[in-house]
Amino acid sequence: MALGSKYSHHGEMPDFHTVSPVVCHDVATYRRRLRCELECGCLSSFPGEQRLRLRVGDGHRDHRQACEVHVRQPRERRHQLCHLGGEGDSAAGRFSGGHLSSCLGGMGRPAKAPKMCVPLFQEGAFALVFKSVHYPGEAVGTRRGGPLLIGVRSDHKLSTDHIPILYCSSGKDKKSCSTLPRMDQDTCLFPVDEKAVEYYFASDASAVIEHTNRVIFLEDDDVAAVSDGRLSIHRMKRTAGDHPARAIQTLQMELQQIMKGNYSSYMQKEIFEQPESVINTMRGRVNFDDNSVTLGGLKDHIKEIQRCRRLIVIACGTSYHAGVATRQVLEELTELPVMVELASDFLDRNTPVFRDDVCFFISQSGETADSLLALHYCKERGALTVGITNTVGSSISRETDCGVHINAGPEIGVASTKAYTSQFVALIMFALLMCADRISMQPRRREIIQGLRMLPELIKEVLSLDDEIQRLATELYQQKSVLIMGRGYHYATCLEGALKIKEITYMHSEGILAGELKHGPLALVDKLMPVIMIIMRDHTYSKCQNAFQQVVARQGRPIVICDKDDYETISNSSRTIKVPHCVDCLQGILSVIPLQLLSFHLAVLRGYDVSLLPPPRTHPPSHTSPIPPLKLNRL
């Protein structure tokens, strides 16, 4: 067995080729290497939290390493996790997954582990993989809310491309149902003629693409069991709407897409990939000759969407900002009320949702936990659901009624960059599709479509400012705070730029709506406070100029991102970043890229590795907690 991780517990990020095929025939040697001990720090938020010991297994590395499992209700479940020998940052809801495999000796075979552990987490999200040294030919994985897939690699013909689901018989008692149902040749996957096969358990397809492009995406509450080279998929009970089988899918991804090439980090590579990523988002969808837009994923539901009473865009983080950035043009072209909601807040408020609403769920990974919960909430209330994701086979793409795949390519970097601009473009295309048959909208549609045509070249022009932005970063990297101000189409740009800076550089940054300056934020401005303002030649230009004068009156020295032909702003500003002009609703794509570059250079100058997840400080991601890819060879 080989156990590898895209991101190490100690911050190391090995290249993907380090997840190498290993078959260990010497069980005694394997057992000696398997046992290592690790103490995890415990947050002191809850009085009385005690440190526990955990054992972490790693089959082919000499250094200590642990994977993490993020669960909800940590206080309620802690006594049960303690019973299993677990430890972790209970206040953050983060526990090491290594201890779960160390308790398998007491549970018996790995096949019993999900039946015994899954009841601990009747609520919340998890993704678990179990492997025991006592049963080297077996492994079991299960998920709910967290992503989990299985890569399949074999040079020989497989028994099937669709693995039927096995259910625990309802007539069995609890004792007889504590292990998974017996497999046979008709209910499992195996190579014909008993040839070699390899299985990889991973949280993301990019972790296994070096070895195979054939994967099986598990659904919530699936239990995948590998025994003696045979893979079967089980569920403890049958529910309405269950698909009878899980299909092997072929990934349209190449290894070159997840390599850094000549760039210093994945983040830098992905920023500079944006001319190509926006082209890929539009490819085959926008016809620039006849000004038409086609979204194949929505064609069966577009009439229903056009009859709706309200659009609700639900997302988290960067994806939420993409919704805010396009809200104005969505309202303009659809003539419908558009709500843009943070998924967690949407759920906390128990927001009323009706059958004639259309709910959009935006997520790069398609596995964002809060967005998935909001998706289930909206489906229960009968709303039509639309997914906008970058990951084929993700939970959101499978569970929504229809959707758009943004085709931005794998995003390996911690901070989302090219996915933001592709989500932006995807929402613009949807708005154009909605008003295709409205004569009064045709001049505006043509203007926007021609703006999309020019967009890739304009992005390249902005990226050519990299050296200038790097020099600016050398002046700012020792600062403790930065304020970013704008309004109209560029309020979302301020939010997104501030998020990138705080996420990557650990510098306090705040995106401020320029119209709210007089209601508090202006008090922060003085001659020492770095201020970045976005001023473009659109309908808010005069109001942004007014905000600029207010900042200057407080002895502020704003750095202005402006149109390269806006000579008035350039002459009145001490420092400017000049970007090319585009149609107003697309200008936000051009103005956010300097902030992406700035955040990258600030992080490098401050000595942080932008490739780490988690970053050097404790930062448990709630959306796609990586599960170390596990690769099982048939022995």
- Over range 535-549, report the average pLDDT: 95
Cβ neighbours, 10 Å, residue 421: 30
> What is the per-residue pLDDT across 391-413, written as a single tens digit (0 to 9) for each?
888 899 999 999 999 999 888 88
Phi-psi region of 246 (alpha: psi -120 to 50; beta: other; left: phi over 0): beta
Residue pair 482/531 in contact by the 8 Å Cβ criterion: yes
Q: Are residues 287 and 369 in the same domain?
A: yes
Reported as a single tens digit per residue, the pLDDT across 266-316 is: 899 999 999 999 999 999 999 999 999 999 999 999 999 999 999 999 999
Examine residue 615 and state whether it is found in any structural domain, yes or no.
no
| The pLDDT of residue 204 | 79
> What is the Cα–Cα distance from 357 to 379, expressed in whole angstroms?
11
With cut-offs at 50, 70 and 90, classify the pLDDT of residue 116. low
Q: How far apart are the first and last CA of the chain?
A: 9
Is residue 123 domain-resident?
Answer: yes
Stretch 339-355: mean pLDDT: 97
Residue 182: predicted pLDDT: 57
Domain's final residue, options 463, 498, 530: 463
Cα–Cα dist 550/543, whole Å: 11
Q: Flag whether 85 is in a domain.
A: yes
Asked if 398 and 475 sit in the same domain, the reply is no
Residues 624 and 536 in one domain: no
Domain final residue, candidates 435, 463, 491: 463
Same domain, 304 and 230: no
Q: Are 385 and 448 in the same domain? A: yes
Residues 26 and 128 in one domain: yes
Structural domain of 276: 266-463
Residues 203 and 73 in one domain: yes
Residue 420 shares a structural domain with residue 340: yes
Confirm whether 163 is domain-assigned. Answer: yes
208 CA to centre of own chain: 17
Q: What is the CATH number for 474?
A: 3.40.50.10490
Domain shared by 454 and 478, yes or no: no
Whether 394 is in a domain gets the answer yes
**Which CATH number belongs to the domain containing residue 168 in this structure?**
3.60.20
Banded model confidence at residue 374, pLDDT cuts 50, 70, 90? very high
Token pair of 549 as six digits: 């004068």
- Distance, in Å, from the CA atom of 177 to the CA atom of 438, rounded to the nearest integer, reads 60
What is the b/e burial string over 554-576, where b = at least 16 CB atoms within 10 angstroms of the residue's CB? eebbbbbbbbeebeebeeebeeb
Q: Is there a single domain that holds both residue 326 and residue 241?
A: no
In this prediction the pTM is 0.76
CB atoms within 10 A of CB 183: 18
Which is nearest to 2 in space by CA: 61, 68, 69, 65?
A: 61
Q: Is 444 part of any domain?
A: yes
Contact 15/73 with Cβ under 8 angstroms? Answer: no
Specify whether 252 is located in the same domain as 287.
no
- Based on the structure, what is the number of domains in the chain? 3
| pLDDT tens digits, 223-245 | 888 887 788 888 877 776 677 78
pLDDT value for 141: 87
Using pLDDT thresholds of 50, 70 and 90, give the confidence band for residue 351: very high
pLDDT, residue 23, reads 35
Q: Examine the fold and report which residue of 463, 481, 509 is the final residue of a domain before the chain moves on.
A: 463
- For residues 478 and 362, membership in a common domain is answered with no
Report for 36-50, 188-202, 320-334: range of highest mean pLDDT: 320-334
Least confident of 246-250, 417-421, 460-464, 484-488: 246-250
